[in-house]
Amino acid sequence: MARIYLDDAASAPLLPQVRSLLAALEWANPSSPHAEGRAARAALDRARDRAAAALGVPALDLFFCASGTQAVNLALLGAGRRLPRERSIVTWTHEHQAVLGAVRQLELEGRSVHLLEPDSSGRADPDQIPSSAGLISLGLANNEVGSLQPVSEVGERARHLGARFHLDACQGPRWLAPDLEACDLASFSGSKLGALGGLVYAANHGRLEPLWAGGPQELGRVPGREDLAAASALALALERCSGERAPRAVEAAAQAARLQGALARAGGRMTGSKIRLPNLASACFPGRRGEDMVMALDLAGLAVSSGSACASGSLDPSHVLLAMGFSLADAGSSLRLSVGWETSDEEVSVAESVIAQVLGGGDERG
C-alpha cells in the first residue's frame, strides 16, 4: 500500500513549482560583484518584491532567514533587546517552543516576562494582557491543536498600550491570510508552505537588533551569505498561497472533518477550538500513549504526529494540552492529523479505514 502523508502541519511537501525553481536556479553569491553575483542579487531582490506583493507590505520591511525558528528569534530577540526596561514581554504558555525559548532568553537577560494561560480550547484572552506590556507575541494558529487566535483583538490591545505586537505566522498562512495590519512584527516558515527558509516582517523597515555580527546582508539584520534558493522558493510559495488558499481551505476542511470523525469513532476526544485551521484534526485518547499510536499508524502506512515528543527515550506530554488544562496522562495521549494541498479524497478514505483498523471504532465513514 502506498503511504499517506497526513502531517502537513509539521512540514508541507515541496511544491512541484518549487522543485522546478530549485533545479533551474543559479547559485552565485548575491554579494559578489561579478556578473554572476549581480544576477543572483537581482534574483534575490525579485524574490523580496514578490514576497512583499503577496503579503501586501513594503519590500524593505522583509528579511529572509534560514527557518521559521530563526525568524521567531530574530523578531522577538531583535525587538525585545531594544525594549525599555520598564516594559514587559508577554506571551502565552501554549505558544510554540521557539517563542517560549526566545522569551525565556530575554528573561535570563533581565527582561520582565508575563506568561499567560490560554482557555480550555487553546485560545488567548486579550484582556489578560497587562498594562506594562511592551512586546506581545501570539501565534496565528496553535501548531498542535489548530485553534485560531484573536489576532485583531490583541493588535488593538497592543496599540492601546503602545506595545509592539509579534505575530507568529509560521502555522496557518497556507490556509488563511495573516492580518499584518494588526501587528508590527511577523514570522513565517517556508517548510509549512511547501518551500524553504524563513521570513521576518518588521514594519517601518525593522527596528531590530541583529542576532549575530558578521556582515551587512539583509540590511545587517541577518549577516551571512544570503540563501537565494530559500528566498526564491519562499516567495513563490507565498504567491501560490495568496492566489489559492481560499478554495484549498474549503477542500481541506471537508477532508479534516472526515478525519476528525474517524478519530472520534476510535475513542478520541477533540482538542482545540472549533475555530481552527481548516486542514487539521486533533484528539486525545485517554488511557493510550500518543507515541504508540503514531508508530502503529506509521506501520500501517499513515504519517501522523502526536502532541507529545519522544526525546532520548523519554516521553514528554504536550505542553500545549497541559496549558489548556488537560491532565498529565491525557496530554501524552494526543494525535494530530493534517491534510495538505496534494491530499486526495481517496487517501482520506483509506486513512479512515486504517484508523478504524488500528485504533478501533468500526469503519463507518460520513
What are 82-132's pLDDT values in tens digits? 999 999 999 999 999 999 999 999 999 999 999 999 999 999 999 999 999
In the prediction, which pLDDT does 188 show?
Answer: 98
Which of the following is catalytic: 65, 183, 284, 310?
310
> At 285, is the pLDDT very low, low, confident or very high (cuts 50, 70, 90)?
very high
What pTM value is reported for the model?
A: 0.93
Percent of the chain residues topping a pLDDT of 90 = 82
Whether 310 sits among the annotated catalytic residues: the reply is yes
For residue 364, pLDDT beyond 60: no
> At 316, is the pLDDT very low, low, confident or very high (cuts 50, 70, 90)?
confident
Q: CA distances (Å), 303 to each of 32, 39, 122, 276, in order?
A: 43, 40, 24, 21
C-alpha cell at 215: 556582515
Q: Pick the range with the lowest mean pLDDT from 52-56, 74-78, 210-214.
A: 210-214
CB distance 230 to 74 below 8 Å:
no
Strand residue runs (E) in the chain? 4-5, 62-65, 88-92, 113-116, 133-139, 164-168, 185-189, 198-202, 269-270, 280-284, 302-303, 309-311, 314-316, 334-338
C-alpha cell at 300: 500501517
> pLDDT per residue over 122-177, tens digit each?
999 999 999 999 999 999 999 999 999 999 999 999 999 999 999 999 999 999 99
For residue 308, pLDDT beyond 50: no
Residues 6+ apart with CB under 8 A from 258: 348, 352, 365, 366
C-alpha cell at 129: 494582557
For residue 366, pLDDT beyond 60: no
Domains of the chain: 4-12+245-359 (3.90.1150.10), 16-241 (3.40.640.10)
Query: What residues pair up with 188 in beta bridges, in sequence order?
Result: 199
For residue 29, pLDDT beyond 90: no
Average pLDDT over residues 262-269: 97
In the prediction, which pLDDT does 220 show?
Answer: 64
Looking at per-residue pLDDT, the higher value among 2 and 312 belongs to 2
Residue 271 CA to residue 60 CA, distance in Å, equals: 39
For residue 273, pLDDT beyond 80: yes
